[in-house]
C-alpha cells in the first residue's frame, strides 16, 4: 500500500485526533499526516461486563471518543472537521482488562502477573467522516476496527520490577508499562504490530484510509460495512445499527432538553439541600422513603419524588434494603459537597443561589430588556441575615477553590499578604495553611469584619488578622502580596481602575498581586458559568485571562503566571514593575 496518495487526498481537509496521547501524536506526525489535536471529553465509564470481548470494548470506547469530538466541534469550536480519529488501547491477560495502575502497589500487582507470560495489546480505532448537508445538518459516518498484538514478558526479578516501577513510567500506561521506553526491557518478544503496542496501529490505519479514498467512494453504505472489524456496541450492550451513523438530531434534542430542564434540576438540588436531606443520610445512611419523610416532617409522596430525582441527578444512590425495599445513601458528590459538616461544603453557596440568585434570574427577561440588575447591590447588606447568607456563600467558594488557588503558584517568597475584600478570611486561611512563613491581613468593610468571627476555624491562626476599611478610599495595609479573589468582576470600569490605582500606588517594585476569577475563553465560548453569571446584569464584567492581563499591565503589573485550576476560580500572578 502506498501512503502518499492517501495523504494527498487529505490535503486541505480538517483532520482531528481525539486524543491527547503524545505517543499517538508522534506516530501520526512522523508519517506526514497534518491534523489538529482535540482531546475527547468522553468519560471511559462503559460497563465492561456488557461486552463479549475486550476488543469490542476498546472499539466502542474509541467510537465514543471520536463521536464526542465530532459532535462537539461544530458547536464549541465553530468548525466542522472532515475526519475525526479516536483510539483506545487496552492490555488484556486471560480476558481481563488491565487498566492504568492507581499506585505503585497496583503497578506491582499488574507487572508481576504479566511476568513470564504472553498477553494481548489491543487498540480500537474509530474514524468518523463528517459531511455537512445543504440544510446545515451534519451526517456522521463511522469506520472502526481493531488491531491485536501478542507480547511476551521475560521472567522478571523483584529488583527489575521495582526498578521499573520506581522510575515512574508505569503510572500512566495501560497495563503498567510502555514498550517504547524503559518498559522495553521487560519484553522478551512480540508477535504483530509494534506501533500498536506503543498506542496506534499505523499500518492497519493506513490500509483503511487507502480503502476509503482510493478504492470506494465515500458515503456508500458498503464502505462502512467493509471497514468495520467488529459489530458496534453501545453502553446498553451489543446492537446492530445501520452502517451510516444517524444525523445529530437525537443528540441535539437531548442537549436542548437538558437545558430546558436545567432549572428543575437546580431547584431539586436547592430543595434537598435546604431540607438537609444529605445531612440526614450522612448520619443515617440506608433509610427508606418513609423514614426520610418522617425525619423531614414531609409528605411521603413528595419525599419519594425528591429522593428519586436526586438519584437521577447523581446526588443519591438507591440500594436494596434488608426487606427488598428501596433505601437511599449519599453519592460521592453529596458526601463531599452537600453535607454541612464537610470541609468542601457548598451549602452556604447553594442557599445564596436559592434565596438571591434564583429570584434574580426569574426576572431575566426584564433584566435583558432594561440592561439593569433586578436587585440593588446594597440589598445584600440590608439586614444582618442577608449579610450573613452572602458571607456564607463567599466562604464556601473560597473554601472549595482556595486550596487550588494557593497551590497554583509558588508564593513562598512572600512574607506578608493582604486579602482585599477577603470576607470571612477563608482564602487567607488557605494561603496561611499552604505557606507557614506567610502572614495575611484581611481588609473588608466594618460590618463584614464584625461578623467574620463566626467563620474562623477552631483554634484560629495568629497569622491571619482582620482590618476594617474600604479598599477604594482607604490607605491599604503594607504587604508583599495583594490578593483580589472574586473582586474585579463585580465592579464597574471606574471602580476597577480606582482599586487597581490604589494597589499600584501602595505596591513597591517586586510586590505581587494574585488575582482569582473565572477566566473566560478568549472567544467567549466558556466557561459557561462565568457567562451565565454575567446575565445578572451587575455593574461589573466577566473577562478572559487576556483581558485581565491587559487591565493589570495598564497599572504597572507584569503577569508572570496564569493557572486554570478546574475549580470554582482560576488564578493569575502579577509582579509590580
Give CA–CA dist 315/336, Å, rounded. Answer: 10
Closest CA to 136 of 258, 247, 246: 247
Is 88 assigned a catalytic role?
Answer: yes
Question: Cell numbers at residue 576, please?
Answer: 509590580
Integer Cα distance of 412 and 401 in angstroms: 19
Residue 28's nearest CA partner among 270, 205, 194 is: 205
| The three grid cell numbers given for residue 31, joined into one nine-digit string | 508519517
Grid coordinates representing 453 are 468571627
Q: What cell numbers appear for 247 in the block?
A: 444525523
Rounded distance, CA 518 to CA 531, Å? 9
The dihedral formed by the CA atoms of 47, 52, 57 and 60, expressed in degrees to the nearest 10: -100
Interatomic CA distance for residues 518 and 534, integer angstroms: 11
Q: Which residues, other chains included, contact 486 with Cβ-Cβ below 8 Å and sequence gap of 6+?
A: 394, 397, 398, 421, 516, 517, 569
Three-state DSSP state, 479:
coil
How far is residue 110's CA from residue 100's CA, in Å, rounded to a whole number?
Answer: 9
Helix (H) or strand (E) holding 120: strand 118-132
Q: Buried (b) or exposed (e) across 305-334, using 16+ Cβ within 10 A?
A: ebbbbbeebebbbeeeeeeeeebbbbbeeb
Catalytic residue among 82, 88, 193, 505: 88
- Residue 95 · residue 54 · CB < 8 Å: yes
Q: CA–CA separation, 58 vs 76, rounded Å?
A: 26
Say how far apart CA 380 and CA 290 lie, in whole Å. 39
Scanning 37-85, the segments in alpha helix (DSSP H) are 54-72
Alpha helices in 300-408 (DSSP H): 300-312, 332-337, 347-352, 358-362, 364-370, 384-407
CB neighbours of 45 closer than 8 A, spacing ≥ 6? none
Give the three cell numbers for residue 224.
462502512
Q: Which residues contact 569 (CB under 8 A, 6 or more apart)?
A: 397, 401, 404, 405, 485, 486, 516, 517, 518
Give the Cα-Cα-Cα angle 102, 95, 52 (nearest 5 degrees).
110
| Radius of gyration in angstroms for the set of CA atoms belonging to the chain, rounded to a whole number | 28
Q: How many residues does the chain have?
A: 577
Positions annotated as catalytic residues are: 88
Amino acid at each position: 500500500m502506498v501512503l502518499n496518495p492517501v495523504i494527498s487526498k487529505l490535503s486541505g481537509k480538517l483532520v482531528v485526533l481525539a486524543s491527547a496521547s503524545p505517543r499517538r501524536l508522534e506516530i501520526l506526525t512522523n508519517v506526514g499526516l497534518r491534523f489538529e489535536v482535540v482531546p475527547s471529553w468522553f468519560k471511559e465509564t462503559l460497563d465492561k461486563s456488557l461486552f463479549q470481548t475486550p476488543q469490542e470494548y476498546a472499539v466502542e470506547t474509541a467510537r465514543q471518543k471520536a463521536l464526542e469530538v465530532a459532535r462537539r466541534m461544530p458547536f464549541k469550536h465553530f468548525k466542522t472537521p472532515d475526519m475525526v480519529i479516536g483510539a483506545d488501547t487496552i492490555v488484556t491477560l486471560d480476558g481481563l482488562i488491565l487498566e492504568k495502575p492507581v499506585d505503585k502497589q497496583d503497578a506491582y500487582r499488574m507487572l508481576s502477573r504479566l511476568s513470564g507470560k504472553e498477553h494481548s495489546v489491543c487498540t480500537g480505532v474509530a474514524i468518523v467522516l463528517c459531511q455537512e448537508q445543504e440544510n446545515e445538518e451534519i451526517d456522521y459516518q463511522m469506520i472502526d476496527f481493531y488491531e491485536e498484538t501478542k507480547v511476551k514478558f521475560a521472567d522478571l526479578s523483584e529488583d527489575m520490577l521495582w526498578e521499573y516501577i520506581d522510575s515512574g513510567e508505569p503510572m500512566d500506561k495501560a497495563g503498567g508499562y510502555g514498550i517504547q521506553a524503559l518498559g522495553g526491557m521487560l519484553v522478551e518478544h512480540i508477535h504483530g504490530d509494534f506501533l500498536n503496542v506503543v498506542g496506534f496501529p499505523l499500518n492497519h490505519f493506513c490500509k483503511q484510509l487507502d480503502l476509503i479514498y482510493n478504492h470506494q467512494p465515500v458515503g456508500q453504505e458498503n464502505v462502512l460495512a467493509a471497514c468495520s472489524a467488529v459489530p458496534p456496541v453501545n453502553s446498553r450492550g451489543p446492537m446492530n445499527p445501520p452502517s451510516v451513523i444517524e444525523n445529530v438530531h437525537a443528540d441535539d434534542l437531548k442537549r436542548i432538553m437538558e437545558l430546558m430542564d436545567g432549572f428543575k434540576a437546580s431547584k431539586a438540588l436547592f430543595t434537598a439541600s435546604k431540607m438537609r436531606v444529605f445531612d440526614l443520610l450522612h448520619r443515617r445512611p440506608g433509610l427508606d422513603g418513609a423514614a426520610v419523610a418522617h425525619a423531614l416532617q414531609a409528605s411521603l409522596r413528595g419525599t419519594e419524588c425528591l429522593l428519586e430525582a436526586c438519584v437521577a441527578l447523581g446526588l443519591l444512590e438507591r440500594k436494596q434494603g434488608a426487606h427488598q425495599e428501596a433505601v437511599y445513601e449519599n453519592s460521592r458528590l453529596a458526601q463531599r459537597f452537600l453535607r454541612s459538616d464537610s470541609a468542601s461544603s457548598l451549602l452556604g453557596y447553594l442557599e445564596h443561589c436559592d434565596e438571591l440568585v434564583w429570584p434574580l434570574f426569574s426576572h431575566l427577561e426584564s433584566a435583558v430588556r432594561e440592561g439593569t440588575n433586578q436587585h440593588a447591590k446594597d440589598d445584600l447588606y440590608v439586614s444582618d441575615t442577608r449579610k450573613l447568607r452572602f458571607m456564607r456563600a463567599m466562604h464556601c467558594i473560597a473554601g472549595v477553590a482556595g486550596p487550588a488557588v494557593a497551590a497554583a503558584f509558588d508564593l513562598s517568597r512572600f512574607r506578608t499578604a493582604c486579602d482585599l475584600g477577603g470576607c470571612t478570611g477563608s482564602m487567607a486561611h488557605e494561603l496561611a495553611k499552604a505557606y507557614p512563613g506567610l502572614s495575611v491581613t484581611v481588609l473588608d468593610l466594618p460590618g463584614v469584619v464584625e461578623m467574620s468571627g463566626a467563620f474562623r476555624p477552631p483554634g484560629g491562626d495568629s497569622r491571619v488578622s482582620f482590618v476594617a476599611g474600604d479598599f477604594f478610599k482607604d490607605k491599604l495595609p503594607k504587604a508583599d502580596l495583594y490578593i483580589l479573589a472574586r473582586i474585579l468582576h463585580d465592579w464597574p470600569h471606574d471602580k476597577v481602575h480606582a482599586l487597581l490605582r490604589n494597589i499600584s500606588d501602595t505596591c513597591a517594585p517586586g510586590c505581587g498581586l494574585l488575582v482569582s476569577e473565572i477566566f473566560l475563553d478568549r472567544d467567549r465560548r466558556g466557561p459557561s458559568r462565568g457567562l451565565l453569571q454575567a446575565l445578572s446584569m451587575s455593574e461589573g464584567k466577566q473577562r478572559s485571562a487576556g483581558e485581565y492581563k491587559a487591565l493589570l499591565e495598564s497599572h504597572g503589573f507584569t503577569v508572570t503566571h496564569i493557572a486554570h485550576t478546574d475549580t470554582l476560580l482560576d488564578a493569575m500572578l502579577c509582579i509590580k514593575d
